[in-house]
Amino acid sequence: MPLGEPGYDRFIQDRPYARSRLEELHELHPELFPEALGWGYAFFGFTEPSIKQHLRCRRLRLEQGGAVFTVAPAFVMPSMSGRTDEMDDALFLMRFHVLCWAIAHVFGRDPMYGFRLEQGLGRFSLVGTTVKQADRLPTDLVADEKHSWLKGQRVYIATTAGQACILGASVSPSSGQADLTEAYGVFVEEAHALDPEYAPETVNTDGWQPTQGAWKALFDHVTLILCFLHAFLKIRDRTTKALGEVGQAAHKRVWEAYHALSKRAFSQRLRRASLQRRKGAQRMGRDRVTGRRDEGSYAGLMRQTGAI
């Protein structure tokens, strides 16, 4: 909770102040509280003082369901591992892959301390800590797998993005549909925690069948969009040098179609591009490119997977 350190002692000792402060925070940041809090709650004592930070936290018990929650202040790191202001700069440098021993040399402690802090960030919900509110969940997504290695074995990072933000990144042991469905399902679980009825309208993929099958398994009615960049690359690779300038002109016109601002303009540019192709290239372009025409009705769809 965004509780400042100067007033935290009063929050612990003064019950009326603590209740008014929680009600104020609940009004400002309802996404930080359980939904049942509005039905009432009671204070439920304190946690034991932290050995590392010597701090206690208030506990709440909900009237509905009886669940107990701990109110942790934001000026300390998770698990009371350190003060936020002390580790803010160190975690910022880790974003640029500064080594842990270098972090320890500048900020003190040992290298494993910084490593554990960085790894601890993975405990939290990506959707819950970025989107936070159900009405801000994106309707148009991008999905792709990043190849990586784990203990000497190739793995695939099933990555989901929307509105220029990474919303999911889970490890899949293989590129098969079953494993990808489970990996992408982590994003779905986190999104449903905000909105149980959430379902995206479109998902842009690179055309890999297991990826598309995974999203169809997760959302029956989602519209799958073929990444325009991958479609263009297939056209480029299959257009032989024998086409010469005609092929180069076709490449240019197809790529210019990507920048069309409307469905009508997109279709017009594709028709002009088709006139530049020879018969074989025209057939290939019709199979791979014109499927994009019906997608113009989705105003915010992602045209390519470059966001990932």
CATH architecture of 128-226: 2-Layer Sandwich (3.30)
| Interacting residues of 196 by C-beta distance below 8 A, sequence separation 6+ | none
- pLDDT per residue, tens digit, the chain (308 aa), is 888 888 899 999 999 999 999 999 988 888 788 888 888 999 999 999 888 888 999 999 999 888 999 998 988 887 888 888 888 888 899 888 899 999 999 988 889 988 888 887 777 788 887 887 888 899 999 999 999 998 889 999 999 999 888 999 999 999 999 999 999 999 999 999 888 899 999 999 988 899 999 999 999 999 998 887 777 777 777 766 666 676 677 777 777 877 888 878 888 877 776 666 544 444 444 444 334 434 445 455 555 565 56
Contact yes or no for 206/227 (Cβ under 8 A): yes
**Hey, what are 244's tokens?**
């010469």
Residue ranges covered by each domain of the chain: 8-71, 82-123, 128-226, 228-297
Cα separation values, 302 from 17, 56, 124, 229, 288, Å? 48, 47, 26, 11, 17
Continuous segment of H or E residues that includes residue 253: helix 245-257
Contact yes or no for 243/224 (Cβ under 8 A): no
The dihedral of CA 289, 295, 297, 303: what is its sign?
Answer: negative
Beta strands in the chain (DSSP E): 41-46, 58-62, 68-71, 140-150, 153-162, 165-172, 202-205, 223-226
What is the phi/psi pair of residue 305, to 5°? -90, 10
pLDDT at 155: 94
pLDDT at 183: 94
pLDDT at 233: 77
